[in-house]
Structure 1
Amino acid sequence: MLIQTWGEVLQNSFQDIGIGLANFIPNLFVAIVIFIVGWI
């Protein structure tokens, strides 16, 4: 097991959050478009 510094842990956490947002935003956009089309 490797011992990581707090800086490395935080950097990896923020990278994971960024990747998660990059995957989530397109899905959110499609959901909003479908909702608007269904509303009309």
Structure 2
Amino acid sequence: MCKAWDRNMYKLRFIISFQVQLIINFKLIAICSHQIFL
């Protein structure tokens, strides 16, 4: 039971970190494109 829970927590942590990276990349792209338009 504990091992299954650890696996789920690892998956959840991986998904959260992946989403955070996506958001950061999106913000960087938005900032760069905004500077290009200016």
Q: TM-score range by the shorter chain?
A: 0.5 to 0.7
Q: How well do the aligned residues superpose, as a CA RMSD in angstroms?
A: 1.8
How big is each residue's C-alpha offset from its partner over 1:13-39, in whole Å with a ceiling of 9 and x where there is no partner?
000001101111011123334455667
Matched residues, number: 36
Which one has the bigger helix percentage? 2
Identity of aligned residues (%): 11
- TM superposition score normalised by structure 1: 0.54
Q: Which runs of 5+ in 2 are unaligned?
A: none
Q: Which runs of 5+ in 1 are unaligned?
A: none
